[in-house]
Amino acid sequence: MATRIELTSTSPEHTIEIGRRLATILEPGMLVALVGQLGAGKTQLTKGIALGLGVPDARLVSSPTFVLINEYEGRVPVHHIDAYRLSSVGEFEALGIDELRSDGVVILEWADRVREAIDGDVIGIELTLEGATQRKLCIFCDSPRLADRLAKLRLSD
């Protein structure tokens, strides 16, 4: 049974805080699949997740659009991938996604571009622009183990 949570973020800082809280249920092997148009807050959410996983400074986190993968050291390694410029699922698989997942958490921006190559413990998040600073976040997962964790997580006050 799928779990689905809808939240509204009122600012970039709020989006970062949601990511920070979400990080409390993540562990190596998990993938966070982000979908949303340009400017929807994918990188802000990634900053929060990275901070929650022990990355010491949000300024270290930036969109990997031109390098494909950024890696951040925390208590759990964070592998931040951007699929926007990938031309095929094969290119995504060539990044060594299984190896990256084996030692850390993978955060994948533009996950819809490589959807067919994503499996295992995945939390999907769709971010939608709702105004100048407001964003809607739809968080979902199919894994019973993750669904249980997600259902117990307090993401908003």
At 57-83, the pLDDT tens digits run 888 888 877 788 899 999 999 999 999
Residue numbers of the domain that contains 97 = 3-138
The length of the chain in residues reads 157
Nearest to 21 by CA among 53, 63, 44: 53
Residue 106 belongs to a domain: yes
Query: Which pLDDT score is estimated for 155?
Result: 64
The CA distances from residue 52 to 26, 79, 85, 94, 151, in Å, are 9, 14, 27, 28, 18
User: Helical H runs in the chain?
Assistant: 12-22, 42-52, 89-94, 97-103, 144-152
Query: pLDDT tens digits, residue range 110-142?
Result: 999 998 888 888 999 999 999 888 999 999 998
User: Is 149 contained in some domain?
Assistant: no
Tell me, yes or no, whether 114 lies in a domain.
yes
- Count how many domains the chain has: 1
pTM: 0.90
With respect to residue 73, please indicate whether it lies within any of the assigned structural domains: yes
Please give the pLDDT value at position 77: 94
Bridge partners (DSSP) listed for residue 34: 109, 125
pLDDT value of position 20: 94
Q: Answer for the pair 128, 139: CB distance below 8 angstroms, yes or no.
A: no
Q: Summarize pLDDT for 84-113 with one digit per residue, the tens.
A: 988 888 998 888 888 999 999 999 999 999
Query: Residue 151: inside a domain, yes or no?
Result: no
Q: Which residue has the higher pLDDT, 66 or 32?
A: 32
CATH of the domain at 32: 3.40.50.300
Strands 78-82 and 105-109 turn out to be parallel
Question: In sequence order, which residues have a C-beta less than 8 Å from that of residue 57 and are 6 or more positions away?
Answer: none
User: Both tokens of residue 115?
Assistant: 């959807």
Confidence at residue 98, expressed as pLDDT on a 0 to 100 scale:
87
